Every structure is written in C-alpha cells, then in structure tokens.
Amino acid sequence: MARIIDIVILYIINIVIGVIFGLFLVASYSSGTGASSGFLTSSVVGILTSVIVTALWVVYDFFLLKSKGQTVGKMVMGIKVVPIGQMMPPGGLPTDMALKRAGVTWGGWILNVVPFVGWLVGWAVVALNGASQLWDKPLQQTFADKFAKTVVVKIK
C-alpha cells in the first residue's frame, strides 16, 4: 500500500512533466523543417523524459529514505526502512544504503528509453522488485532491500 501511495504522488508529478514536454514537442515540431526533424525531436524528448522521470523517482526515494528512512507512503502506513543488523542512525539511512535501495527500486524506469517495448519492460522490472518481497522469507525483502542490506519494519 505504501508503494501505491508513492506511485500516486509521483504520477501527479509525471503528468506535469509530461504536459511540459508535450508542449515543448508540439512547439518544436510546428517550428521544424519537416517530419524528420519532428521525429528526431520526439525521440530526443522521449529519451529525455524517460531519464528525467527515472531520476525523479530515484531522487524522491533516496532523499526521503536518507533523511527519514520513510517515503510519504511509508509514513502513512507506519513502516520504515532500516539497516539489517545495525543500529538505525538518527534520521534515516546512510547515503550508500539509501542510494542503492532507491536505484534498484525505481531504476527500471530507465528502460522506457527502449522503443516500443521499453515501457512494458520497465514496468515489469519495477513490479518484479516490488513483488519479490512476497516470496522472500523470513524478512520479506525486495531485491532492492537485499542489495542495500535493508529491511522494512513496522513502527506503529
């Protein structure tokens, strides 16, 4: 549920970014010299959008985990990401743990740059990471948790 809350928040931001880039694409296409310049512009805008969206999702997760150990969704659900076998530092996760976890959790979005099937593969990678906690025992860690050596715990 926490991930769904975070996805809703980030999708609202994605819509704003999409509208801005869509307006840029329309403006650049109408001022271009032909269809080939419009295609080139749409390809560049698509790649740029994928990179910015991926960076946005990773940065969101990274900064909130580093500062609080929780994203907004985790705060609402009363859970927190903590290091395995270590004392929780004041505030949030150490930088390397937060970056590793955020990168693996949302890094699959970068696959959206692949023409035609990238969005599907990106979704599959992100979903597989999220679902991986369902078969992990006993800590119910995602692949991102295993890579970052973290675990999610209930705090309320």
CB 143 within 8 A of CB 105: no
105 to 11, 96, 121, 155: CA distances (angstroms): 16, 14, 14, 21
Distance between CA 59 and CA 37 in Å, rounded? 32
| φ, ψ of residue 137 in degrees (nearest 5) | -130, 145
What is the share, in percent, of the chain residues with pLDDT greater than 90? 49
* 69-124 per-position pLDDT tens digit: 999 999 999 999 999 988 777 878 999 999 999 999 998 888 888 877 888 898 89
The DSSP secondary structure of 128-141, one letter per residue, reads HHHHGGGT--SS--
Position 24 pLDDT exceeds 60: yes
Q: Give the pLDDT mean for 33-59.
A: 72
Distance between CA 154 and CA 73 in Å, rounded? 13
Position 32 pLDDT exceeds 80: no
